[in-house]
Amino acid sequence: MNKPNSKKLTQWLVTALFVVVVATFSLLDQPSAKAQTITPSEPALESTPITSPAASPVLEPTPVIPPVAAPVESVAANVRRLLTTKECVGCNLTGAVLKDANLQAANLQGANLQEADFERANLQQTNLQGANLQGADLGKANIAGANLAGANLFDADLEKASFLGANLQAANLQNADLEKTNLTNANIQGANLMGVDLQDAIRPEGFIAQ
């Protein structure tokens, strides 16, 4: 074989070998490409922003408001009220000076009349039910027909007072001074008469000293 033919044959073999190599690499590269197309891409995870927890609102302490005490009416104001209206239910008349006062048919139910001065006062038909008359001075007072049921007359001065027809049922008259008192027709049922001074008193009919 001459040299030109040998050279052509060599070139042809090199070209054929190159084609085979290229074809082989192409075949090997196709599965990889197919795999890349088949494999689904994972969705990108959205990044959730990290937020700090909301700060709790600061609760300010509620200011403490001291209770407002209800104004207590003075004894003097209650005396004026009583003399004007003849009514002072449950009011405070401790130590009040009502000497010679006209309180006929007044309403003093449940009032505090401790140590009050009612000397020679007109208390006819007055409502003194449940009133506190402990240590009060009712000497020579006209208390005829008054209602003193359940009243406290402990150690009260009732000398020469008139209780004609008065209601003293269940009243406390312990240690009271009833000297020369008129108790004609008075209702003293259930009254506490322990230690009372009844010297020269006009006692109700059927009265039995305790």
Task: Say what the pLDDT of residue 27 is.
Answer: 62
**CATH fold group of domain 89-205:** Pectate Lyase C-like (2.160.20)
Contact criterion met (CB below 8 Å) for 153 and 135: no
d(CA 113, CA 146): 15
d(CA 70, CA 135): 28
**Is the predicted pLDDT of residue 34 greater than 50, yes or no?**
no
pLDDT tens digits along 84-116: 999 999 999 999 999 999 999 999 999 999 999
**Is the predicted pLDDT of residue 64 greater than 70, yes or no?**
no
Task: Say what the pLDDT of residue 179 is.
Answer: 96
d(CA 143, CA 121): 8
Query: Hey, is 34 helix, strand or coil?
Result: helix
Q: Per residue in 145-163, is it b (16+ CB within 10 Å) or e — as a string?
A: bbbbbbbbbbbbbbbbbbb
**Is the predicted pLDDT of residue 69 greater than 50, yes or no?**
no
pLDDT (mean) for 161-173: 97
pLDDT tens digits along 37-53: 444 555 555 555 555 55
Kindly report the pTM of this predicted structure.
0.65
d(CA 62, CA 14): 100
d(CA 122, CA 119): 9
Which residue is it, tokens 């140590």? 115
Contact criterion met (CB below 8 Å) for 144 and 164: yes
Q: Which residue in 108, 147, 140 sits closest to 124, CA to CA?
A: 147
